[in-house]
Amino acid sequence: MLRLYPGKLPDLELMFDCEDKPVVPLDMFHGPNAKPPPLFRYCSDQRSLDIVFPDWSFWGWAETNIKPWENTLKDIKEGNKKTNWKDRIPYAYWKGNPYVAPTRENLLQCNVTLENDWNTLLYIQDWVQESNQGMVPLQHYWPIRDNSKCTSLKFAVEWGNNHTHKAQEIGEAGSKFIQEDLDMNNVYNYMFHLLNEYAKLLKFKPSIPRRAVEFCPEKLMECAVNGNKRMFMEESMVKVPSDSNPCTIPPPYDPLSLQEFLERKANSTKQVEIWEDEYWQIKEGTIV
């Protein structure tokens, strides 16, 4: 980013935790005098105040052969063209690391077994890269209950198989969101504005510690002399400065608009839960 927008970022100092799980709970910091620690990390949620920063795998993850995000997006677009929606296997598919949170670990209980078929195919792989803050249930994705994942997943697949046009519409909207709202230009713009706004809050002038070591991409590549690691670093490195300024940061939600957005998400999720309850009641014979 320093190469993309040279001279546009102020000096700053921050603390970054590379673990996935948030550690700054919202319920511990209330009121106008609350002072939560400004801790950056890759993940946060509605119950936490950790400051979200883009995961480093946007620039590639050689150990799992995940290409830099720009190339991955191209692969996703090409992959979407290979099989028509109506010809795809009618199962829910997930691949990722289930051990970063308890809610993911119990997801594995929903895999296909000799006793149960929850219409799911779940695979373990040690990586994760996602963002859903701006996504809306029933518009970009289908919400799954956290406390009854298996039955919720089975209903989701059944509903999708019986409402193929709507399911395709949701899938395409979610894919479009990822490809357009999460392109690297927006990732860099988010980083730029986040760091600029954070720097404005500092109450001291950052200085370089006497024993600090300066790193640059070329220096880092000396440690990654071959293979995918070097290739991904070269592919994702910004070669020339941007010929335009960073985007203008949009104004924050006003309280009413934010409340309406959150209510829309909550109501969409509630509607799915009502449909799901009715489905299982009929299936179990409690509703005729």
The two structure tokens encoding residue 250: 């949009």
pLDDT the model gives residue 97: 79
Band (pLDDT 50/70/90 cuts) for residue 131 is low
- pLDDT of 222 > 80? The answer is no
> What pLDDT does 129 receive?
53
The chain-wide mean pLDDT, for the chain, equals 88
CA 34 to chain centre: 28
Higher pLDDT, 128 or 170: 170
Contact 67, 75 (CB under 8 A): yes
By mean pLDDT, which of 59-68, 153-162, 163-172, 268-277 is the weakest? 59-68
**SS3 breakdown of the chain: % helix, strand, coil, rounded to 5?**
45, 10, 45
Residue with the larger pLDDT of the pair 271 and 21: 271
Band (pLDDT 50/70/90 cuts) for residue 288 is very low
Residue 154's pLDDT is what? 95
